Amino acid sequence: MSYCVGLGCTNPRNLDTEQFCRYCGVQLVLKDRYRPMQPIGQGGFGKTFLAVDGHIPSRPQCVIKQLCFSSSDRATFNKAVALFRQEAMRLDQLGRHPQIPTLLAHFEHDRQLYLVQELIEGLTLGNKLQQQGSYTEAQIWSLLQNLLPVLQFIHERQVIHRDIKPANIIHRQSDRLPVLIDFGIAKLFSHTQLLQTGTIIGSPEYMAPEQTRGKAHPTSDLYSLGVTCIHLLTGIPPLDMFDIVEDGWAWRDFVLPENPVSDRLSQILNRLLQGKISQRFQSAAEVLQAMQTKPPATKTLLPHSAKTQLISPHNITLLTAKTRLQSATHTQITSKDGINYTKLQEFLAKRKWKDADSETWNILCQSVNKLPGQYLYNSDINKLPCEDLQTIDQLWLKYSNGHFGFSVQSAIYRDVGDDYPSFCDRIGWPTHNPPDLDSAFNFINSSPVGHLPSRRWVGGYQWWRHAGTLAAKLEQCGGV
């Protein structure tokens, strides 16, 4: 099979014996040597194709990158062309490092620019994350140990990659080493250029603060590597883990109990993630040295939210809920009416708190034979089956490490003496419903203890009595 790379071709698939596209007439074999076989990717300025090299008897496979740009904006086009040519220069300059794809050719064909690179067989780290789930600490140590020398290599040659992320790191199948790809936006730097503001290029969720202002620095790559690591550890999109109130990463809030992170690795990642350049590691070599230096003792790092709760004076009254957290980890999901808890469990496991809150509402409605989205009154709370109420509570407790849950809310309500305004103040709710109720709740892990599940599902004339009614129902069911 041959694949036509002509821009705008509506039927690009051809037989592998064809020399010209049967549909648009574009020459299929580039430079009389490279035959594109199928598309494998597309970015902002280019398309990537799997191809074969017809000049070598074994017809080895390779990767072809094509500049694909149709904008009439000449300045933007010239910038895209410059970046594309820059990639060829960088790859040639970086030579044949075993963890950087080899540049095989760079040419212009039919007024289009092309790069030909070595094919790296394997999955990107992003693909592996989707297939296997969150990375373990051992996998992150291995990634750092094997990728930092590559960053050291390119930085010593005055190159900043500027787009370190899971999609640009391939786990090579042959030797299981990480291979760094896509140098299309790499930037040659010098001591004078470091202070110059340039085009803002990169992936925003992985980008260092100075890079968002157009000023890339070698430590910008280290910052992006740190973001990559916490994304792989938690499986949570990076921007969902950034606390804009504290202006820092709250990634520890998203570490699952079954996948703990040591204090030692946490310290290294936190230093990689520092917003100020001066507070980060200054080189890849410095990170490697820190990894080799063993502290006097190490300990398992609890999720940050769990640690805060254990030491906070507020939470001495939540010991009952904490006891329930221990059992919730091992309790089977049960339902009186066979309710399916799969979606709720998936949302909670991925820390998609708003989705989990909405699914909780749906389950509550289902358990009292109401339609999804209908409000529940205090009389409905009294009808909730204990099995379902306890299952909802245990799932929230388990996946928030005791930070959220109905039993947490009930313990706080009892602690403030059944005082609803004080209860709302403690868990960060408005006492009275605002016009837009959704805006009253924060669906983030750093919300106050007991903030979720929300009360969006509560209705009725005396809706504010739901906290007391729910606490009494939980007590009746054998809870707090």
pLDDT, tens digit (0-9, with 9 covering 90-100), for 86-144: 767 777 878 678 999 888 888 877 777 888 988 999 999 999 998 888 999 999 999 99
Let me know if 418 is a catalytic residue: no
Long-range contacts of 315-319 (CB under 8 A, 24+ apart): 315/449, 317/411, 317/412, 317/414, 317/415, 318/402, 318/408, 318/411, 318/412, 318/449
User: Could you tell me if 369 and 383 are in contact, meaning their C-beta atoms sit under 8 angstroms apart?
Assistant: no
Beta strands at 61-67 and 46-53: parallel, antiparallel or unpaired: antiparallel
Name the residue ranges covered by the structural domains of the chain: 2-118, 122-301, 305-476
Report the alpha-carbon distance of residue 275 to residue 398 in Å, rounded.
Answer: 32
Question: Average per-residue pLDDT in the chain?
Answer: 83
329-350 in b/e burial notation, b at 16+ Cβ within 10 A? eeeebebeeebebeebbebbbb
Q: Is the pLDDT of residue 186 over 90?
A: no
Q: Is the dihedral of CA 242, 283, 118, 122 positive or negative?
A: negative
Which pLDDT does position 299 carry in this prediction? Answer: 43
Q: State which amino acid sits at residue 301.
A: L
SS3 for 478? Answer: coil
pLDDT in tens, 309-357: 333 333 334 434 444 444 444 445 666 668 889 899 889 988 899 999 9
* Unique residue bearing structure tokens 């490092």: 97
Q: State which amino acid sits at residue 6.
A: G
pLDDT in tens, 468-477: 999 999 999 8
Q: Is the pLDDT of residue 202 over 80?
A: no
- Tokens found for residue 264: 């030692």
CA neighbor of 351 nearest in space, from 453, 236, 245? 236
Structural domain 2-118, CATH architecture: 2-Layer Sandwich (3.30)
User: Could you tell me if 385 and 337 are in contact, meaning their C-beta atoms sit under 8 angstroms apart?
Assistant: yes
Torsion of CA 471, 475, 479, 480, to 10 degrees: 60
Write the DSSP symbol of residue 438.
G
Q: State the distance between the two ends of the chain, measured CA to CA, in whole angstroms.
A: 67
Burial class, 135, CB count within 10 angstroms (exposed 0-12 / middle 13-18 / buried 19+): buried
User: Could you tell me if 450 and 404 are in contact, meaning their C-beta atoms sit under 8 angstroms apart?
Assistant: yes
Which of these is catalytic: 163, 253, 380, 393? 163
pLDDT in tens, 143-165: 999 999 999 999 998 889 989 99
Question: The domain 122-301 belongs to what CATH superfamily?
Answer: Transferase(Phosphotransferase) domain 1 (1.10.510.10)
